[in-house]
Amino acid sequence: DTGVSQDPRHKITKRGQNVTFRCDPISEHNRLYWYRQTLGQGPEFLTYFQNEAQLEKSRLLSDRFSAERPKGSFSTLEIQRTEQGDSAMYLCASSLEGTGTYEQYFGPGTRLTVT
């Protein structure tokens, strides 16, 4: 068990560019979550997958954001036409349905800076 991994760890981009982040969950986990964390705040829920199905999206996830989990394993989060307000840490987490504890395991995050 290597834990949840995210790539890249850091991304600097110019306003208006597109960026894509990847998350690899713990291998047997069927639930995957994306959160956004800004300085001085706790993580805010963005979206959630159960296997390959995206079951919920936050209103924080504007039309410029899209997430996929094509085979129920890794997931990608794409931000189109980035804005300075998108600068944040993007966290991925995974969990296993059926354990009854709803414990999520977090990756190290991808820190996005939009200049």
CB nearer to another protein: pick between 3 and 16: 3
Bridge partners for 95 per DSSP: 31
Among 26, 30, 44, 68, binds another protein (CB under 8 A): 44
Strands 44-50 and 31-37: what pairing?
A: antiparallel
Binding mask 54-83 for another protein (x = CB under 8 A): -xx---------------------------
CB of 74 to another protein, least distance (A): 16
